A and B are shown apart, each in its own frame.
Chain A
């Protein structure tokens, strides 16, 4: 089956590239400030964003950037759009924060607001909620960016009846380092013939991720 990437966003530390072009964002030292700056520049306007952990913030801004000025969500059915993500650190960055709230018996303050983010697939939930996307979900965890796994899983997912498009990619946040590549996957059709797209394959993913 021929699958295509109709838009993508790469975030590496404090730089963000949308379809290969870098967005001009002030170079902040703190990742959460960088996320906030991107949020402002992309005019995301979604107050819940500020309550999210860094992994979910990263996933949301990368997805919003890929979706911006793109008709992906209008071309495709929200019920038939899958969200398939992967990373290396799972939710460990937030896990460590949560563990700090319970390490000390005298300052024992387990917080449900932090605990809920100690699962990597919460970022899938946040993207799904923001756009009412109800298709299939999967979160994989692997040693390093794995183009082969990502291509295979997208192929398998889009072979299923009831899945016609997908938001896919890599979203990793660990020890203050942000590393994401989010891309939109669609089947070849007349509706995308007038836009720029790339075939979904390992070489392209590795080139985008580089």
Chain B
């Protein structure tokens, strides 16, 4: 059975639809900007969605006051995909998979006044609130697997449709920029005060970003930008909980497993590329080990920062959009190669025939994932 990607949406500082986001990238616009956040006295580059734009968009949601910021963004994003596709979550053959690392974590902050019960910090309670808005028949499924959550949700959706009984799975990934995550990554000295530079010689660390992105995964080749999800896999480094394997073992294994049996040429790779020294180096080594030395590679984190549970969905959606326009998108923030693996990093937007792409992700807990998409 063949499973396809279908309609999609992205809500980020660069726009409230996939089209808006895609055209912003081609104009080299960045979501990441200097911000001061909460009790932190330092300024960091973060990708934060403009409050006014959110409030204007909330007009489209019934009883918006009943929903948290992340829930509202998720509702807007899912609504866009439901309208485009004509699919309903009340259909018993349709499931919502929600991918997030921290969900409504902002509700834990005692300096922020809100009227939501603390129960709402539980990820299934949040997902159920979103599901209820759309009269979902099936209880939404939450996947929370660090930075591979979004890509793993897409792989899981593909496998679940194959296994039955669902025909359609809406995968929505979302995370906010909060003092919780900013202070945490700062405590790891992982944050850059400047726009991040994945794979670049001068990269200094990550930017955090907020976004929600939704994609429909389905049996039916519905949308004009559909791509077939050929295969996908995950693997663990079994090495360290907060640092990647120096030799890229888990990523090598996930990519090898994904490509097994496929003689397809990989036209482009959308990597994880967080812009930390170790992560990007590890990815370059893993790609070289697999033999992907000729496939142009980019990371989109130079534009959006690291959007955590949204990243795998958002980056897959943009790569699908670019593939349909036969474009390679410049790896944001990149100018001079700063990784030892023999890989080709995309240094300008370019027109190229794209039939296939590989998407990868790696995260805390030693997890890695990869998936192969074909037009």
Interface set of A (CB-CB < 8 Å, partner B): 78-79, 83, 88-90, 92, 95-96, 98-99, 102-103, 105, 108, 110-112, 115-116, 118-122, 124-126, 128-129, 131-143, 149, 152, 155-156, 159-162
- Tell whether B43 is near chain A: CB-to-CB under 8 Å: no
Which listed residue (B121, B160, B236) contacts A124, Cβ 8 A? Answer: B236
B112-161 contacts to A, CB under 8 A, are: 121-125, 128, 139, 141-146, 148, 152, 156, 159-160
Min CB gap A172→B, angstroms: 11
Would A115 and B187 count as touching, CB distance under 8 A? yes
Would A121 and B144 count as touching, CB distance under 8 A? yes
CB contact under 8 A between A98 and B180, given known A90-B122, A90-B123, A125-B365 = yes
Would B108 and A99 count as touching, CB distance under 8 A? yes
Min CB gap A159→B, angstroms: 7
B257: chain A residues at CB < 8 Å are: 161-162
- Tell whether B39 is near chain A: CB-to-CB under 8 Å: yes
Query: A70 vs B237: C-alpha distance in the bound complex, in angstroms?
Result: 24
CB closest residue in chain A, given B189 = A112
Binds A, one of B2-10, B239-247, B297-305: B239-247
Q: Binary interface profile of B, 211-254, with partner A (CB < 8 Å = 1, else 0)? A: 00000000000000000000001111111111000000110010
Min CB gap A118→B, angstroms: 7
Which listed residue (B125, B142, B184, B239) contacts A112, Cβ 8 A? Answer: B184
Knowing that A88-B122, A126-B241, A129-B240 touch, tell me 14 more A-B residue pairs with CB under 8 angstroms: A99-B105, A122-B364, A129-B238, A134-B249, A134-B253, A136-B234, A139-B143, A139-B144, A140-B141, A141-B144, A142-B139, A149-B141, A155-B163, A160-B233
A108: chain B residues at CB < 8 Å are: 39, 183
CB contact under 8 A between A143 and B238, given known A119-B144, A160-B159 = no
Query: A111 vs B101: C-alpha distance in the bound complex, in angstroms?
Result: 18
Would A112 and B124 count as touching, CB distance under 8 A? no
A131: chain B residues at CB < 8 Å are: 238
B183-208 contacts to A, CB under 8 A, are: 183-188
Min CB gap A182→B, angstroms: 17
Would A156 and B159 count as touching, CB distance under 8 A? yes
CB closest residue in chain A, given B124 = A143
CB closest residue in chain A, given B164 = A152
Which listed residue (A89, A98, A128, A159) contacts B366, Cβ 8 A? Answer: A128
Would B365 and A119 count as touching, CB distance under 8 A? yes
Would B236 and A111 count as touching, CB distance under 8 A? no
Query: A200 vs B76: C-alpha distance in the bound complex, in angstroms?
Result: 40
Would A125 and B233 count as touching, CB distance under 8 A? no
Which listed residue (A103, A121, A149) contacts B145, Cβ 8 A? Answer: A121
Would B239 and A129 count as touching, CB distance under 8 A? yes
B183: chain A residues at CB < 8 Å are: 102, 108, 110, 115
CB contact under 8 A between A140 and B122, given known A119-B364, A128-B238 = no
CB closest residue in chain B, given A103 = B110
- 15 A-B Cβ contacts within 8 A? A90-B103, A102-B39, A103-B109, A103-B110, A108-B39, A110-B184, A112-B187, A115-B184, A118-B184, A119-B101, A126-B241, A128-B236, A137-B236, A140-B141, A141-B142
